[in-house]
């Protein structure tokens, strides 16, 4: 699908904020349906 000429990618909007008043270090809250559709997966060709 022309991955050698045009890179495939995804854009993510990230907000850094306190969730419900609690501070959580090194955590991320993500939408489960986005993960089910393949968000954040990586393909490496060598």
Domain boundaries, given as residue ranges, for the chain? 1-46
Question: 4, 23, 26, 36: which is the annotated catalytic residue?
Answer: 26
Could you read off the pLDDT of 1-46 as tens digits, one per residue?
566 666 667 777 777 777 666 666 667 778 899 888 888 777 777 7
- Model-level pTM greater than 0.75? no
| Separation in Å, CA 18 to CA 12, 25, 31, 39 | 19, 10, 17, 23
Q: Residue 44 and residue 19: Cα distance in Å, rounded?
A: 34
Question: Is 23 among the catalytic positions?
Answer: no
Q: Residue 29 and residue 46: Cα distance in Å, rounded?
A: 32
Could you read off the pLDDT of 5-16 as tens digits, one per residue?
666 677 777 777
């Amino acid at each position: 699908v022309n991955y050698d000429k045009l890179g495939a990618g995804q854009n993510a909007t990230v907000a850094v904020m306190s969730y419900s008043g609690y501070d959580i270090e090194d955590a991320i809250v993500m939408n489960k349906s986005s993960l089910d559709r393949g968000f954040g997966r990586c393909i490496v060709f060598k």
